[in-house]
Amino acid sequence: MTGGNGAIRGAFFDFVDDPWKHVGNEQVASRFFADGLLVVKDGIIEDFGPYEEVSKRNAGVDITHIKNRLIMPGFIDGHIHFPQIRVLGAYGHQLLDWLQSWIFPEETKYRDRDYATEAAQHFFRALLAGGTTTCQAFTTSFPVTTEVFFDEAAKRNMRVIAGLTGIDRFAPDDYIISADDFYKSSKALIEKYHRKGRNLYAITPRFAVGCTEAMMDRCSQLKKEHSDLWINTHISENPTEVRQVKEYYPDCCDYTEVHEKHGLLGPKFTAGHGVWLTNDEFRRFSKAGAAVSFCPLSNLFLGSGLFRIGRATDPEHRVRLSLGSDMGGGNALSPIRVLEEAYKVGMCNNTMLDGSVNPREQDVAEAERNKLSSYRAFYLATLGGAHSLYLDDLLGNFDKGKEADFVAIDWSAGQDAMAWHQSLTADASPNTVEEAAQLLFGVMACGDDRNIDETWIAGTRLYKKGEPDVMPAM
């Protein structure tokens, strides 16, 4: 396949439904072809299915055969910080001190176009090396950072969501932006970038601690004037943060009400973290069609806490969920490592729910939902993430008409004994969905970026492990 035209042959694994809807029978939410064919025209999927059938319908198509790999839709990172790519893994602080000590000083450098452009090379390369093909990203309060982000994403033809970060308190004077300047600059950026190529714009109030009433009002005004825009923020990440929000917004009963009051909570709204959301707040998220981005690497690295996956996936009040690296609060960009940590969070939650600590807190159904099988995990990283971001009409699986972003996973790469470990499941390419899912569990439990062999954007290969960067011909 070249230039977004042609076909890929190989073993394909994607999702057609939410595995949490099929407890005990999760494989029905997935789709697996041990020998499949994906036909792409101008970067869009034209046909997909078993090789035997699809090849007959597409005689003469130029086929690239990817052997001994699992081909999956590209991963979606629902919450990441572009200007933190150099400062990830910083020592010693929890959220609010960490922002002041490490983050605002680094992000201030992104007022310089050259610095931001150099950073973008590292950022996008690292995304692709981890298998991330779409992200919803924070930039900074300097419009130039948002411009560089969108320009560099467009060079790679990647589907991204981002926006100017609104913060008018709780940061150094040379970092904050007034609500009026935020509004004016946002309008210009929306005009220049929203729905240009694959770029999508998100109104981005950083978090309620850093946003005055005036800033929230401007966000509300932007959403009223551009109902098509996304909204990206943080919520209930850290207990001190939650207490501060109550002081800043005494008329709101909880953190979620700050967003409700400003007309922001609804479809296309995503808040990262949500570690300390109450059951009632989860219910209101669910009803509003709003999403939480679960950021386990960061929640553990900054000591924020354990996100209650089993509560957020209650079928009565299911909350839309994506996975976020939250890099640099998260100490890696790799979605595979995010899955690993997400799995551990579910297991730790279950120590509280299995009755062994307090028999009165036992909840067997919630405990079952906390268990991150590879079906649930890779669903969140692909179709589930797309659904939570209201992008599932465009991407997230291999349905015809969707954008052809995908990864080729080498299940045997990584730690020294990985191939030996995986040979417990299969000696060769998997033949059944159960085998494929088991290999994927091996990848999420023991793997990392080294398992990503190739990353393709709109039918063009932009990353091949061990080879130099490629930029698509535009």
Give residues in contact with ligand GUN (CB under 6 A): 81, 95, 99, 103, 206-207, 234, 237, 298, 326, 329
User: Can residue 107 be called a binding residue for Zn ion (CB under 5 A)?
Assistant: no
- Minimum CB distance to ligand GUN, residue 106 (Å): 10
If the CB atoms of residues 270 and 350 are measured against ligand GUN, the closer one turns out to be 270
If the CB atoms of residues 234 and 259 are measured against ligand GUN, the closer one turns out to be 234
- Minimum CB distance to ligand GUN, residue 79 (Å): 8
* Strand stretches in 206-353, DSSP E: 230-235, 269-273, 291-294, 320-323
322 beta partners = 293
Name the CA dihedral angle for 137, 309, 386, 123, rounded to a multiple of 10 degrees: 30
- What's 406's DSSP letter? E
- What's 164's DSSP letter? P
* 317: Cα within 13 Å, side-chain hemisphere: 16
If the CB atoms of residues 134 and 293 are measured against ligand GUN, the closer one turns out to be 293
* Interface map 392-421 toward Zn ion (x if CB under 5 A): ------------------------------
**Residue 72 and residue 15: Cα distance in Å, rounded?**
9
If the CB atoms of residues 137 and 216 are measured against Zn ion, the closer one turns out to be 137
Neighbours of 44 (CB within 10 A): 17
- Minimum CB distance to ligand GUN, residue 9 (Å): 41
Partner interacting with residue 135 (select from Zn ion, ligand GUN, none; CB below 5-8 Å by kind): none
If the CB atoms of residues 81 and 337 are measured against ligand GUN, the closer one turns out to be 81
If the CB atoms of residues 74 and 329 are measured against ligand GUN, the closer one turns out to be 329
Partner interacting with residue 322 (select from Zn ion, ligand GUN, none; CB below 5-8 Å by kind): none
Partner interacting with residue 237 (select from ligand GUN, Zn ion, none; CB below 5-8 Å by kind): ligand GUN
User: Which ranges in 61-163 belong to alpha helices (H)?
Assistant: 95-98, 104-108, 113-130, 143-155
* 74: Cα within 13 Å, side-chain hemisphere: 34
If the CB atoms of residues 81 and 376 are measured against ligand GUN, the closer one turns out to be 81
- Minimum CB distance to ligand GUN, residue 81 (Å): 5
CB 54, CB 8: distance < 8 Å:
no
Spatial CA neighbour of 378 closest among 28, 74, 24, 33 = 74
Region from 98-106, 323-331, 388-396, 461-469 binding Zn ion, contact rule CB under 5 A: 323-331
- The H-or-E segment that residue 80 falls in is strand 75-81
- Minimum CB distance to ligand GUN, residue 429 (Å): 39
User: Can residue 274 be called a binding residue for Zn ion (CB under 5 A)?
Assistant: no
**3-class DSSP assignment, residue 210:** helix
- At residue 315, what is the residue type? P
If the CB atoms of residues 99 and 312 are measured against ligand GUN, the closer one turns out to be 99
- Minimum CB distance to ligand GUN, residue 283 (Å): 24
**3-class DSSP assignment, residue 11:** strand
- Minimum CB distance to ligand GUN, residue 207 (Å): 4
- Minimum CB distance to Zn ion, residue 258 (Å): 17
- The H-or-E segment that residue 376 falls in is helix 374-381
Q: Which residue is nearest to Zn ion (CB)?
A: 326
Partner interacting with residue 103 (select from ligand GUN, Zn ion, none; CB below 5-8 Å by kind): ligand GUN
* Residues binding Zn ion: number (CB under 5 A): 2
Burial class, 133, CB count within 10 angstroms (exposed 0-12 / middle 13-18 / buried 19+) = buried
If the CB atoms of residues 265 and 275 are measured against Zn ion, the closer one turns out to be 275
- Minimum CB distance to ligand GUN, residue 281 (Å): 17
Look at strands 199-205 and 230-235 and give their pairing.
parallel
**Residue 454 and residue 467: Cα distance in Å, rounded?**
10
Q: Pick from 326, 410, 448, 449: which binds Zn ion (CB under 5 A)?
A: 326
Order the strands of the 44-50 sheet from edge to edge: 44-50, 30-41, 6-15, 63-73, 406-409, 452-457, 460-464
Q: Can you say how many angstroms the Cα of residue 104 is from the centroid of all Cα atoms in its chain?
A: 23
Partner interacting with residue 206 (select from Zn ion, ligand GUN, none; CB below 5-8 Å by kind): ligand GUN
User: Can residue 272 be called a binding residue for Zn ion (CB under 5 A)?
Assistant: yes
Q: Which residue is nearest to ligand GUN (CB)?
A: 329
If the CB atoms of residues 102 and 230 are measured against ligand GUN, the closer one turns out to be 102
- Minimum CB distance to ligand GUN, residue 17 (Å): 31
Site residues (vs Zn ion, CB under 5 A): 272, 326
